[in-house]
Amino acid sequence: MQLTDNTIFITGATSGIGRALAEAFHGLGNQVIIAGRRRALLDEVAAANPGMVGIELDIADPRSIAAVADRLVREFPKLNVLINNAGIMPFDDPSKPLDDAVSQAILQTNLLGPIRMTSALIEHLKAQPRATIINNTSVLAYLPLAGNAVYSASKAALHSFTLSQRFMLRETSVSVQEIAPPWVDTDLIRKSGDPRAMPLDAFIAETMQKLAGDAEEIVVDAISAIRDNPGAGEHKLINDFNAAIIANPIPV
């Protein structure tokens, strides 16, 4: 994608990867609009980045999505980049009864949220001379973490949706890219400084560099082997990965 001269809307942008991406694009001179549920956090990020605009959005609420989309089209007619970043990552255990409300919240936020947000803006994006949709999935789309089974499944589903969306938009002005982060040291779970987690600044630097090209998937070098692994051998990789996590749990 072109990294400059854009009007960019980013969901879930008050912390972690979303905020870091927003600030990286803002630093390149783009008009950046950030979204989140909490007004105070939106104001805090916007104050730290003069010119950035914050809009309240509940990505799990279709009515909120529709209202925000209408506002974006009205107030930012040059909007040409949508970054679907908002997500939640509760732990679960599929060997036991799951909390249905939690499972629904994960799917509403991580899967239906991006689908609905894109649907609400797709005709506007197609009318732009050039536009980009970026869906933020996860390495767990390819390597499910058993203790976050529903989260992993939601990201695998969003990856699948992205593949279909990209194909269907192939003859339009809209390109579709996917960012599949590794474990990044943010507060999605709990910022802990765990050495297994990639530092946020290093992740953003490599991701921005790769976004500047025309790669359909943005995968940092550290997890390229995992992305290339699908096939008959993936079962051993997944089992070994989860056994290693159990032996050395993620701090919560």
In this prediction, residue 235 carries a pLDDT of 72
pLDDT band at 230 (very low <50, low <70, confident <90, very high): low
Neighbours of 87 (CB within 10 A): 25
For 109-132, the pLDDT digits (tens) are 999 999 999 999 999 999 999 999
- Is the pLDDT at 59 greater than 80? The verdict is yes
Catalytic residue among 25, 142, 151, 183: 151
d(CA 23, CA 25): 5
For 143-166, the pLDDT digits (tens) are 899 999 999 999 999 999 999 999
d(CA 43, CA 54): 7
How far is CA 10 from its chain centroid?
9
Which position has the higher pLDDT, 196 or 29? 29
- Is the pLDDT at 25 greater than 80? The verdict is yes
In this prediction, residue 17 carries a pLDDT of 96
- Is the pLDDT at 170 greater than 60? The verdict is yes
For 74-106, the pLDDT digits (tens) are 999 999 999 999 999 999 999 999 999 999 999
Q: Tell me if residue 142 is catalytic.
A: no
What φ, ψ does residue 14 adopt, rounded to 5°?
-95, 0
In this prediction, residue 82 carries a pLDDT of 98
Mean pLDDT of 7-35: 97
Position 245, amino acid: I
